[in-house]
Amino acid sequence: MMKKLAFILFACSLSASLFSQQSDSAIVHNLFITSLKSDAAYENLRYLTQTIGPRLAGSPQSIAAVEWAKQVMQQMGVDTVYLQPCKVRNWQRGGKETAIVTSTLRGSKNLNICSYGGSVGTGKEGITAEVVEVKSFEEVEKLGRKGIEGRIVFFDRPADPAFFYTGHSYGSAVDQRIHGASVAAKYGALASIVRSVTLARDEFPHTGVMHYDESIAKIPSIALSTLDAELLSTWLKSDPKLKLFLQTNCHELPEADSYNLIGELKGTDFPDQYIVVGGHIDSWDITQGAHDDGAGVVQSIEVLRLFNEMGIKPRHTVRAVIYMDEEMAQRGAHKYLEEVKRKNEKHIAAIESDGGGFTPIGFSIDASADNFSTIKSFQKYFEEFDMHEFIKGGSGVDVGPLKELGIPLMGLMDDGQRYFDYHHAASDTFDKVNCRELELGAAAMASMVYLLDK
């Protein structure tokens, strides 16, 4: 009799578990198919990138973007939408920037440049000097004051293509952008100009934040398109004494008022416990920021819309956090953590999309061993959509500060082969995003939220 009861209980639990598993699988499937049939995220991205356009933190456009996204969520019927005030750095490019190379052998040519975020300008009169090309910081040190002083240092080490993950290629060259100016200034350079950190051979300068060593004089720090880097390098070979003229106007104003934006679907069982999906709404001033990170913004909003469309009522509150100021100083991300701690809000997990709006391939997971293996066990639901990369790794810059809460953090991983082609450049436009690829990413995030919520 006991044996029979035990068997019945076992059979019941098996069938319940089989049912719930089938049901989860069906819901994930439906989230993906529902997303593929929709163009809501894509049309939101069109507006954000083409109508609002560039939206550097601190700019009026960045505020307009937040106000627009608030309206979008309100019109979707999200339960709660509110702004979370934060302060941001207020760096400004200050208008047209010019670079002209002049060689007695070849004449003059305008080069495609842009200042890096955080850089000082050259002043109105600009800088004219000889150029010394280097591939590494060690070379600068070897050249020393004698080889560097009074010159413009041209950092020309390309991103190494010999990695499958383009983030590794990016990592192989981005030190020049971030620290090049101070490394060069230490030996008396007048300015630093850096081959754009991208895998594309193109005419676009790719910007990005740079940092000064505060103990060293600040010199202008400027990106050069890869094609013009090749040109400058070629010209230098035949005329090492050529002159480069640089004129930029960037400057930093006192910090500005800005906002994160938060939209919520209230949890039925645990309204005070939060699962976060997020992306950043600021972009560089020279680009529509379609992949970086308009995609992450509209995908995070789309998670809420997909839940609504499918009538999924989450048990925990699902919160889309639209971060401000990822590009310069992550002030929005830090403000979000500050408020979480002040209000003592319990968080379950956080997922960030800041790898573009390309076909999703998995999640990069920063979690305890137990949590990792739970999340890894979800992989089976995603394989039908060719998502197989559920790997230990970093999550993202905006959810990163939440690490101190001890919760699982995740970054949506995309097929990133093209990501750095457009990264931080004027070429990161709406037309570079495919509707289906964008929607698949939103579905992946929604599915992960759904599974975490169970």
Determine if 141 is a binding residue for a second copy (CB under 8 A).
no
Q: Residue 319 class from Cβ within 10 Å (0-12 exposed, 13-18 middle, 19+ buried)?
A: buried
Taken in order 430, 175, 168, 393, the sign of the CA dihedral is negative
Shortest Å, Cβ 109 to a second copy: 24
By C-beta, is 268 or 434 nearer to a second copy?
Answer: 434
Please tell me whether residue 199 binds a second copy under the rule CB under 8 A: yes
Long-range CB contacts for residues 169-173, cutoff 8 Å, separation at least 24:
169/199, 169/420, 170/197, 170/420, 170/423, 173/197
Contact flag: residue 203 with a second copy (CB under 8 A): no
**175 or 389, CB closer to a second copy?**
389
Segment lying near a second copy (by CB under 8 A), choices 58-66, 162-170, 236-244, 246-254: 162-170
* 202 near a second copy (CB under 8 A): no
Residues facing 100 on adjacent strands: 110, 245
Smallest distance, a second copy to C-beta of residue 97, A: 26
Sign of CA dihedral 216, 219, 222, 227: negative
User: Smallest distance, Å, CB 58 to a second copy?
Assistant: 33
Binds a second copy (CB under 8 A): choice among 168, 341, 388, 392:
388
Minimum distance from residue 122 beta carbon to a second copy (Å): 34
Instruction: Give the one residue of 162, 215, 237, 311 binding a second copy; rule: CB under 8 A.
Output: 162
Interaction of residue 43 with a second copy, rule CB under 8 A: no
Q: Does 440 bind a second copy (CB under 8 A)?
A: yes
Strands 346-352 and 270-280: parallel
Neighbour-count burial for 75-85, b at 16+ CB within 10 Å, e otherwise: ebebeebebbe
The verdict on 47 binding a second copy (CB under 8 A) reads no
Closest among 385, 91, 403, 45 to 221, alpha carbons compared: 91
130 binding a second copy? (CB under 8 A)? no
DSSP E strands in 230-358: the ranges are: 243-247, 251-265, 270-280, 316-323, 346-352
Handedness of CA 287, 294, 277, 56 (dihedral sign): positive
Kindly state whether residue 309 participates in binding a second copy, applying the rule CB under 8 A: no
- Structural contact between residues 381 and 355, judged by C-beta atoms closer than 8 angstroms: no
Quick one: which H or E segment has residue 410?
strand 409-414
Taking CB under 8 A as the rule, does residue 95 contact a second copy?
no
Of the listed pieces 144-152, 158-166, 170-178, 392-400, which binds a second copy according to CB under 8 A? 158-166
Site for a second copy in 392-421 (CB under 8 A): 415, 417-418, 421
- Which residues contribute to the site for a second copy (CB under 8 A)? 32-33, 36-37, 161-164, 166, 199, 359, 361, 383-386, 388-389, 415, 417-418, 421, 434, 436-437, 440
